[in-house]
Amino acid sequence: MNSFPLFRPSVDAGDLVAISGQIGLADGRLVDGGAAGQTQQALANLQAVLEAAGLTTSDVVKINIYLTAMDDYTAFNEQYNAVFSSEPPARTCVAVHQLPFGALVELEAWARRR
């Protein structure tokens, strides 16, 4: 029996697509490398969901970032800027007490079909 709740990686909402929160999981486990490694994997996971929806990172219009420690902001931001270097989306970054599976970073996004 699967212990995970029902999960939809994305939901179409007219010309917008809501992308569920992505953490640094690969093969069911958090990746190594702290916040930087988890951010890199979460971004890769986000890109995979976008691709499955027929979109790219250039279609992202809003992204919400959740960090368990603001001390990880610089490590996160370096990875984020590598993906969203030109015309980055609007974003919000907040510190949270805890994330699923003990993750350090979670990303959720809205993208627009053009």
> Exactly one of 93, 108, 110, 112 is catalytic; which is it?
93
Please list the residues that pair with 18 across neighbouring strands: 11, 110
Our answer to whether residue 41 is catalytic in this structure is no
Across 59-74, b (16+ Cβ under 10 Å) vs e yields: bbeebebbbbeeebee
Does residue 27 come out as left (phi exceeding 0), alpha (psi in the -120 to 50 range) or beta? left
User: Is the separation of the CB atoms in 105 and 57 below 8 Å?
Assistant: no
User: Is the separation of the CB atoms in 20 and 8 below 8 Å?
Assistant: yes
Residues designated catalytic: 93
